[in-house]
Amino acid sequence: MVDKHGKTALHWACVAKDVEIVRILLDHGAPIEARDIIGRTPIWEAASVPDSHEILALLIERGAEIDSRDDGYARTPLHLAAYQGKASNVRSLLGFGADIEAKMTTGRTPLLSAIAYSQLSTLEILIEGGARGDVVDTTTGEGILHLAARFAPPEMMRKLRDARLEGVKLDSRDFQGRTAAESFRLERPHSYFANVDDEEDANNAFNDLCLRVEDLGVESKEFCGLCS
């Protein structure tokens, strides 16, 4: 039996974070891979509820697919936890073996998703987990620097600076032909996530991030266009 959203009792037990009900349902044969109308299995519900380590552990122990993809963009539960800022769930999913480099249909990894949604807490865990820096959104051509230029608060830029992720290139251009520095100047003021009160701090943080990008040579300062 499912509701109008295609969700089963197991989906809703995960939402409620009721470990005993989840266990009882599984013991009585509840389908652990049942999909709702957008293709999300019960593990997705657990990933969306804060601090669901126990539920996640139980589902995975019983055979749930940890990297189950949804129907829309082929996201995984780790993508969801990353962009929703569910830090403890990101840590749990990684601990259980979730693919840190899983790519959506757009090419976004959980790390890119965390940056695009300004989620510093999950970004930190993904960096600690070894997330790659040379990933690109295949629909926009935006990599880490482009997304940071548009969406990252200053504190997140400083975290990216200190992480020194390999493979990030200052001179890369998105599909509009823009560098990250150009995106910062042209698009950040229109970003929903940009805080105009932090403009000076954001400028300084982005400058520092540009200067710390690896393997760019002496051209990096000039190319950034913001650094003095």
Residue 78's closest CA among 120, 123, 133, 12?
Answer: 123
With respect to residue 220, please indicate whether it lies within any of the assigned structural domains. yes
With respect to residue 195, please indicate whether it lies within any of the assigned structural domains. yes
Task: Say how far residue 203 (Cα) sits from the centre of its chain.
Answer: 23
Host domain of residue 199: 132-228
Confidence of residue 52 (pLDDT cuts 50, 70, 90): very high
Please count the structural domains in the chain.
1
Q: Is the pLDDT reported for residue 188 higher than 90?
A: no
With respect to residue 197, please indicate whether it lies within any of the assigned structural domains. yes
- Which DSSP category does 70 fall into? P
pLDDT in tens, 118-159: 999 999 999 999 999 999 999 999 999 999 999 999 999 999
With respect to residue 30, please indicate whether it lies within any of the assigned structural domains. no
Task: Say how far residue 4 (Cα) sits from the centre of its chain.
Answer: 29
The Cα–Cα gap between 87 and 125 comes to: 7
Residue 55's closest CA among 47, 166, 68?
Answer: 47
**Phi, then psi, of 136 in degrees rounded to 5:** -140, 140
With respect to residue 201, please indicate whether it lies within any of the assigned structural domains. yes
Single-letter residue type at 109: T
pTM above 0.95, yes or no: no
Following DSSP, what letter does each residue of 114-150 receive, concatenated?
Answer: HHHTT-HHHHHHHHHTT--S--B-TTT--BHHHHHHH
With respect to residue 2, please indicate whether it lies within any of the assigned structural domains. no
